[in-house]
Each structure stands twice: as structure tokens, then as C-alpha cells.
Structure 1
Amino acid sequence: MSDNDALKSLLPPLAQARLQSLRLADGTATVILDASGFDGIERDRLEAAIKEALAAAPGVSEVRVAMMADKPRRRIIAVGSGKGGVGKSTVSANLAVALARLGRKVGLVDADIYGPSQPRLLGTEGKRPDAREKQLIPVPTAFGLGVLSMGNLIEPGKAIAWRGPMAGNALGQLVDADWGAAEILVVDLPPGTGDVQLTMLQRHKPAGAVIVSTPQDLALIDATRAMQLFEAGQVPVIGLVENMAGYVCPHCGEVSDPFGRGGAEAEAARLGHAFLGRIPLDMMIRQASDAGVPPAAGDGPQAEAFLALARRVATWLDNS
């Protein structure tokens, strides 16, 4: 009997019947269930029973439980990465702006609770969202979409020191805000496969996930873990984006590849996922992002790279 089978045999019968995925890795048992139709009390009781059943199992030091919610009212595109520093937030912001340029009704959620970047990227620093009947109202941007971020709710530069449940509750307030006519929510997730990602799967099941990686082997290893988490939660992986791929010297025009090239495309092919394109390592993207003007809102090859990505995501949404 495998370790996973042994753990499954310890679960309460209701959990076994609703089980979608069970994985033990590095001492952490991750359990994903179909919780359609359960109310809050039923979810809490079942989660407690699962944790009690698995806590004493050999090799288990932590138990994480995610319960998949019913189909959301609007379609969520989760943008994730296995590690930080790969440009996931920049890709999220520009994907949302590009989708809006294509005529889609879009909202952007900055779910990186501990390290929010979207207020800087979208030029909304210092702006606070309004609220109506305990629902947040997104901060409008100059780019045809609204955004919500912890960076608009706390003092600039203030560190957030919250445990997982508090971060999960904060995510719920952002996603369940008054998004008006928005049909698509682009959610910029924190790096890794932690509590916020599990809460996303449990309460706000995405329609699909876009995974961002640089061409480096280490980044690709971590990106693969992120894809595996979404697959375990039965969230389709729309595809993989290779960021920081190719640097064009502004003086001589020569192209170099400081982080390598083609690794993300090869990994996507190996795993049977779509390759959504490359975003160059470009000084203009960095400067425009720091200035709060996403390159996707302008013209030129940098904008076209993000528009091409948005077209592929939009086509996937239309066909899924």
C-alpha cells in the first residue's frame, strides 16, 4: 500500500467520497475535496475531522485542507509561479490591461497579501478603495479596469505579519468585492504553493491558471510544482509564459539570453501544456512599470508581447 493510499484509508468516509486529491510531500499532507453544497459549518467540521485523522499519521507534520467551491459567478484567471522574482506581478498587470484593450471587462486582484505590487504597477499608490454594504469597491485605474490590493488598504511600506487564516480572509474580501460588470478577474497570486493558493482553490475556483517562469532550470522546477497544485485541484493550466527571455542591446541591437532561452517552452511541451509566449527582458518594461504605466497600455514590441499573450488567454476562455 502506498503512503497516499494509507493516508486515504484514515480519512472519514465523507472525505473519502469527496476526495479529489491527496498528496504527501516534505511532511505536508495536502487534501483537496469537492465541497459543493456544503455550508460553512459542514466545511469546518469536515476539515477538523480530516486534520485530526491525519495529524498522527507517520511522516505527517502538517495537514492542509482545501475544499473546492461551487462555480464562481465570474471567471477567474489565476496567475502563479513557483518562486518569486520571475515577474509574475508584471505579467498579471499587463495581461489584465491587454485583456481590457481587447474589449474584455476585467478586474485585477492583487492576492500577494504580504508583498503587494499592483498599486505601483498600475499607478494607484495612495488611493484607497471605497466600500458599499461591507463590500469593497475596486480602485479605478487609467487603463480600463479596477484593481484591489492590500497595498491600497495599508500604510505604504508597512509590513503585514499575518498567519494563514488572516491572509485567506483578506483574499476573500478582495475577490468577493463589488466588481460591477467585470466578467474576468485576473488574480496575481503570491509565489509558491502555500495558504493563499489553497484558499484560492477552496473558495474561488479559478477557470484556469497561467504560470510564469524564467527560462532558468531552478525557476522551471518551481513552476512545475505550481502547475501540479492547480492540476490536483482540477484547475486547468492555460499555459506557461517565459518571462525575461532575451535582451536586446539598445546600442548595437544584439540579442543575448542572460537567463537562457526556450526552457519554459520545452517544459510546457514535456508536460503537455500550451506555451503562451515570451516576454523580453527589456529596460522599457522595467521603467514603465516603475512609473505606473503598464507597457501593454502603449505601443511597440513590448505592448505586442502582452497583447499576444492576452489573445491566447481570451481564445482559451472562449473555447473552454
Structure 2
Amino acid sequence: MATDTYRTAPTEEAVRAALATVNDPEINRPITDLGMVKSVEIAADGAVAVAVYLTVSGCPMRETITSRVTEAVQGVEGVTGVQVELDVMSDEQRRELAASLRGGQAEREVPFAQPSSLTRVYCVASGKGGVGKSSVTVNIAAAMAADGLKVGVVDADIYGHSVPRMLGTEGRRPTQVEDMIMPPSANGVKVISIGMFTPGNAPVVWRGPMLHRALQQFLADVYWGDLDVLLLDLPPGTGDIAISVAQLVPNAEILVVTTPQQAAAEVAERAGSIAVQTHQKIVGVVENMSGLPCPHCDEMVDVFGTGGGQRVADGLTQTTGAQVPLLGSIPIDVRLREGSDEGKPVVLTDPECPAGAALRAVAGKLGGRQRGLQGMSLGLTPRNKF
């Protein structure tokens, strides 16, 4: 008995509908919406050739795009084979793409400072270096992303940048489309750092105006997309960056990180008090290195003393006149340090260990908060009585 081998060739409409499900891995929007589909050709035997524009010739995601396009088109009924050809956008096409991503606005602005922004912005601050501020930032970000939030991190510690290594993006460079920067991502978190633009471990030797400009570019020139939360890992103290953040993102809230040690707590309280001058809200305090679990018993060894986090929270409550809670105490855990060195946040590799559980609890408290109405337009129009 003869077998019917007749196969209906796929339509171009069906192929383009499949391509509409393929998101650019950096911009996270369909390649059809971004003008990245150059052409679609369908042979009589069902073989499909798709030409795709890359934003730049050295696009680091070319293999990812190729595999995503191939997988999507192979799923269309009637397709017998897929060939993907890569091309590069012209300067004019890149300008059009950049304008589209900015919503047609020619002038760059910090999107998180706009009244319509629903992104919660947290500035992670400390008085002294070495209290684990960056590891707290990275793990909170990774925990939020694991909970389904869209999260970004700005490594605003220009001199002491360390977030790329801790988050697992070391060695990866952002892609530039005209004057817009596409940030790399790892563990579901988008991240930008000055370390992505400097050769090797070269130091950054800048003064105030250049620091301000770098931070402004990170906030305005980077295409973050629609974020739920943006975390800024600030340098220690109350210097230029802290002041610039208050100017560029006045609605940002401050998260203070300290250790239990009295000296560290005093300096942390001083750093948090800048909120009085910048009119920012302090969302809470995190006490890091709160104790070392004894390997032989359940007792906690107070390596750096006790009570520093609560003292900072109480002091800032008195200084600001608003309740500042202690959001959590993170115990000393070698797995937290190892994860930071390897680019594998402990909240993902060992979420149930004491440090991982404490960090996830802090992330849950911050991630579940809703943005208030302060600074937002209510869309009300005065009505003339006459």
C-alpha cells in the first residue's frame, strides 16, 4: 500500500510568528519587534533560510541567537530544515533601534527617577569597607531573581568594583548599540560595572565629576528594560557617589550594611545619616558577620561582638524620626565567601544554609515591598467650578 509522503510547505506567516517568540538574549524583546529579521526564504521542500541582523559584528550572543531561531523555526509544521545566516545592522539601523528602545526620546534620562517608574531602587551602603556589602548586594539580587523578579545591579563602587566576579559575569563585556549599553546578565540578574570597561585589574583613578558622569551613564545609557528592583552597590562612606545617587535617583532608598562590632556600627550609622540631608528613606539595616556557628555544637561564637545591627537601626530611627528596622543578621559562613569568589551566590547553591536562608529572608522582605506614591503623578486634572 502506497504511503502518502506529500508535505505542505510552511507559510512565511507561520515562520515569522515563530520568530516572534524568539527574544534577543540581551535586550529581552522579540527579534521581530527589534527589526532583527532581515529575510525569510522558504523552499518548496520545506527548508527555511532565515537571515538575522546582529546589533554589532562581535555580538557575544550570536550562537545563542542562532540556536534560539533554529529551535523556534524547527517547531513550525512542514519545516524540513533551518539555515540561519547572520548579518550586521547598519549605522542607521542601530540608530533606529536605539531610538525605539528609548521610546522615541532623543534626550537620555534616568528612567528610575521618573514619577511613572515602578522600579524599587535600593542603595546598599556602609560606613566602612570590608563589612560584606557587595556580597550582601549580590546575594539579595540573586535571591530576588530566583523568586521571579526582574532585577538589575549597578556596581557603583568605582574604585573597589567586585560585583562582576561575585555574580559570575567576570570577563564579559557589555554590547553597545549606538549610545546605548546592553548589560550582561548572570543568574537572572542584569549587571553593569566599571570593571567591564577596564583592562585586567587596572585601577580607576578618577575624581568627583568623572565619578558622577560614570554613574549617570550606568543609569541612563544602559538599557535595563522593565525592572522590578534595581540595587546600587555604593562605595563605603558618604563621598561623591552617595551624593550623586541622591541627585540622580532621589526616590532611591538606603539599605545599611554593618557588622556587630561597635566601631563599624558607629561608622555605619554615620553613613546612614546622610539620608537626613538627602531626604531619602532608610529601608533598613542588615548585620553581616553576626556570628560564627560552632562546628561542634549549636552555640554561636561572637567573633565581632554582638548587637551592632540593632544599635545602628535604633540610632537611625532616632536620627531620622522614622522607624528603621533590622532586616536580618547574616552569620559567618565559608560557603558565602566561596560562592562570592566563584561567582555562585550562596542563596542559589546552598539556600538552606544559615547564611543563605538569612539572605533570602532579607530579599523576601525587600522584594515584597510595593513602591509608594511619593513623587508619582496621580494623573488628576483640576476641574473648573465655573
Category of TM-score, reference length = shorter chain: 0.7 to 0.9
Aligned counterpart, 2:341: 290
Structure 2 residue 121 is the aligned partner of structure 1 residue 76: yes
Aligned counterpart, 1:195: 240
| Amino acid in the other structure paired with 1:308 | A
Aligned counterpart, 2:360: 307
Against the structure 1 CA distance between its residues 71 and 84, is the aligned structure 2 distance closer, same or farther, given a 3 Å change threshold? farther
Structure 2 residue 176 is the aligned partner of structure 1 residue 131: yes
- State the 1:270 CA deviation: 3.9
Aligned counterpart, 2:79: none
Deviations 1:239-259 (A, max 9, x none): 010000010133555420110
Deviations 1:197-233 (A, max 9, x none): 1110011224311000001111111111111112321
Aligned counterpart, 2:226: 181
Structure 2 residue 204 is the aligned partner of structure 1 residue 160: yes
Whether contact under 8 Å (2:266, 2:312) holds in the other structure is no
Partner SS, residue 316 of structure 1: coil
Against the structure 1 CA distance between its residues 291 and 72, is the aligned structure 2 distance closer, same or farther, given a 3 Å change threshold? farther
Mapped partners of 1:283, 1:124: distance in 2: 21
| Amino acid in the other structure paired with 1:172 | Q
Give me the CA root mean square deviation. Answer: 1.9
1:1-320 to structure 2, matched below 5 A, reads: 71=115, 73=117, 74-141=119-186, 143-176=187-220, 177-272=222-317, 273-298=324-349, 299-301=351-353, 302-317=355-370
Deviations 1:51-93 (A, max 9, x none): xxxxxxxxxxxxxxxxxx6647333111001111110000111
Aligned counterpart, 1:8: none
Question: Structure 1 stretches of 5 or more lacking a match?
Answer: 1-39, 41-68
Whether contact under 8 Å (1:245, 1:259) holds in the other structure is yes
Against the structure 1 CA distance between its residues 159 and 230, is the aligned structure 2 distance closer, same or farther, given a 3 Å change threshold? same
- State the 1:167 CA deviation: 1.0
Whether contact under 8 Å (1:135, 1:173) holds in the other structure is no
Q: TM-score if structure 1 supplies the norm length?
A: 0.74
Higher Cα Rg, which structure: 2
Mapped partners of 2:133, 2:272: distance in 1: 14
Aligned counterpart, 1:25: none
Mapped partners of 2:202, 2:282: distance in 1: 34
Partner SS, residue 127 of structure 1: coil
Mapped partners of 2:312, 2:160: distance in 1: 28
| Amino acid in the other structure paired with 1:116 | H
- State the 1:236 CA deviation: 0.6
More relative contact order in 1 or in 2 (CA 8 Å, sep 6+)?
1
- State the 1:180 CA deviation: 1.3
Whether contact under 8 Å (1:231, 1:237) holds in the other structure is no
Whether contact under 8 Å (2:166, 2:340) holds in the other structure is yes
- State the 1:317 CA deviation: 3.5
Deviations 1:93-123 (A, max 9, x none): 1111111122211101100001100011011
Mapped partners of 2:236, 2:115: distance in 1: 24
Question: Structure 2 stretches of 5 or more lacking a match?
Answer: 1-106, 108-112, 318-323, 374-386
Mapped partners of 1:271, 1:193: distance in 2: 15
Greater mean deviation of Cα atoms: 216-225 or 186-195:
216-225
Task: Give the structure with the higher percent helix.
Answer: 1
Whether contact under 8 Å (1:71, 1:205) holds in the other structure is no
Mapped partners of 1:221, 1:295: distance in 2: 28
Count, aligned residues: 252
